[in-house]
Chain A
């Protein structure tokens, strides 16, 4: 029974191995690219959605910010609430209708569709990630004079990224599998290879078996790499105390306070700054 299966797979691989591999490569490239772009979209939506406005702000600013939030909301709901297979059809066949744009390259439209779809999910993940950050982190950043973008870029989003790594992993794995629906517009991913090959040689099950294994390898490898990345983002668990003499103090870069009433003049004088 298994002998038969493995010999069939052997035959398939001998003849179509490179086709399967090309399919895997296509799937991988599409999933990785779209997940990365989707994350960027998600983080961008996250920053825009959280721009604060107060009651005393200028009317136009309040109006625009509210409008922005509504637009993002609509984007999220539409692309999260409809099947990606239909989104692909809509964009691929819809663009020529409305804008006269036809896609010459199937890659462009595939990456576009999957990215936009992933972005909608990521926008919600990022929003959740930002909400989970302690309000003190925002206040600490504001208190030293950071504006919204600086606060987000240097303080909040790095912490958000760490917190939502599992969701990014989820999205990536979903993308590896779900990019198979892009066959509807003619993208030849890993699954499209199965349809083509099994149609040609009538070995449905051996091909499906091969596909299953291939997808599992792709997703398991992703899980493994993401765990590694998570650990890396968590940083070192220990630290070393630094002897003050070893600290590099570049001579002349620290300027003395401008006037004598300025409070920090004492320790500065006996501070032995040394250059290495």
Chain B
């Protein structure tokens, strides 16, 4: 039990009468890169949003280091579990640098100089340090997403959640974001990635979760899932998406 960073236990979420997540169970350990794959509407993003408390689970619990997150201060928890969104969600009223500093200064109460150094450090990591004075509407989608990753990293989280980080990008910009994520995976950052990038799921992640209609149909080692899936639905999904 003690090794798990995150444990999802019997998590369900219903919107009205529509059950989006049904009895989800899985764990995330230190250094895991878990890819959640599945068709649109299978509940992948909702699962991730539940984990970051942007949605309240209907039943079940999420444990962070063995403690129920619904009983913790959400701000403190979120500072440790970062999130990268499909639509970047950079703060439009701030420069790239300020985007990466504000959380450190206001949430972690870090001094200005240190926050600035850290922000530049992580922006450099994603190759965006030269753009510190730009505002979000002045840079490309791929650049925005890299800044968003730097913003999340600047909080020095234990886990980073990615909600379809490349889905809103033009095809030529997908690569630069995936490269950054690959580098993070190599650094043993713990990541939970909802993605349609099958190559990333297969080659980079250490663990793959396949979801369909709000349940986990299959999970395990990416090599096994991609070469020899046990579940019929997994097989069909992968056949459709890899040959399509």
**Interface: B195 (CB within 8 A):** no
A144-159 contacts to B, CB under 8 A, are 144-147, 150, 154-155, 158-159
CA–CA, A155 to B107, complex, Å? 13
Contact B91 A155 (CB under 8 A): yes
CA–CA, A238 to B131, complex, Å? 11
Contact A244 B130 (CB under 8 A): yes
Nearest neighbor of A55 in chain B, beta-carbon distance: B56
CA–CA, A200 to B138, complex, Å? 62
**Interface: A82 (CB within 8 A):** no
Contact A267 B78 (CB under 8 A): no
Contact A142 B54 (CB under 8 A): yes
**Interface: A101 (CB within 8 A):** no
B89, B102, B187: the one contacting A143 at CB < 8 Å is B89
**Interface: B134 (CB within 8 A):** yes
**Interface: A136 (CB within 8 A):** yes
- How many chain A residues have a CB neighbour from B under 8 Å? 45
Which of the segments A117-125, A213-221, A245-253 contacts the partner chain?
Answer: A245-253
Contact A136 B85 (CB under 8 A): yes
A145, A239, A240, A263: the one contacting B107 at CB < 8 Å is A145
- How many chain B residues have a CB neighbour from A under 8 Å? 58
Q: In the complex, how many residue pairs between chain A and chain B have their CB atoms under 8 Å apart? A: 130
Mostly, the A contact residues are loop
B56, B103, B120: the one contacting A145 at CB < 8 Å is B103
Contact B76 A145 (CB under 8 A): yes
Contact A155 B133 (CB under 8 A): no
* A-side contacts of B108, CB under 8 Å: 145
B83, B131, B188, B189: the one contacting A241 at CB < 8 Å is B131
* A-side contacts of B93, CB under 8 Å: 155, 158-159, 162
**Interface: A7 (CB within 8 A):** no
* A-side contacts of B102, CB under 8 Å: 144, 146, 154-155
Contact of A144 with B133 at beta-carbon distance under 8 Å, contacts A253-B114, A268-B121, A271-B121 already known = no
**Interface: B152 (CB within 8 A):** yes
**Interface: B181 (CB within 8 A):** no
Contact A159 B184 (CB under 8 A): no
A52-83 contacts to B, CB under 8 A, are 54-56
How close is B122's CB to chain A, nearest CB, in angstroms? 8
The digit string for B104-137, where 1 denotes a CB below 8 A from any CB of A, is 0011100101101110111011000111111100
A147, A150, A158, A244: the one contacting B124 at CB < 8 Å is A244
CA–CA, A264 to B180, complex, Å? 13
How close is A273's CB to chain B, nearest CB, in angstroms? 7
Contact A253 B152 (CB under 8 A): no
How close is B93's CB to chain A, nearest CB, in angstroms? 4
Contact A137 B91 (CB under 8 A): yes
Contact B89 A140 (CB under 8 A): yes
**Interface: B40 (CB within 8 A):** no
CA–CA, A227 to B152, complex, Å? 36
* A-side contacts of B91, CB under 8 Å: 137, 140-141, 154-155
Task: Pick the most buried of B74, B93, B108: most chain A CB atoms within 10 A of its CB.
Answer: B93
The digit string for B138-174, where 1 denotes a CB below 8 A from any CB of A, is 1000000000100111011000000000000000000
Contact A250 B125 (CB under 8 A): no
Contact B124 A144 (CB under 8 A): no
Task: Pick the most buried of A141, A240, A247: most chain B CB atoms within 10 A of its CB.
Answer: A247
How close is A229's CB to chain B, nearest CB, in angstroms? 15
How close is B179's CB to chain A, nearest CB, in angstroms? 14
How close is B34's CB to chain A, nearest CB, in angstroms? 15
Contact B120 A150 (CB under 8 A): no
In the assembled complex, 12 residue pairs joining A and B whose CB atoms fall closer than 8 Å, in A order, are: A139-B85, A144-B78, A144-B79, A144-B152, A146-B103, A150-B106, A155-B102, A162-B93, A239-B95, A249-B120, A255-B114, A264-B187
Listed from nearest, the 8 A-B pairs whose CB atoms lie closest are A140-B89, A145-B79, A144-B103, A263-B187, A136-B89, A143-B83, A145-B107, A263-B189
State the A residues within 8 Å of B (CB).
Answer: 54-56, 134, 136-137, 139-147, 150, 154-155, 158-159, 162, 235, 238-244, 247-250, 253-255, 261, 263-268, 271, 273
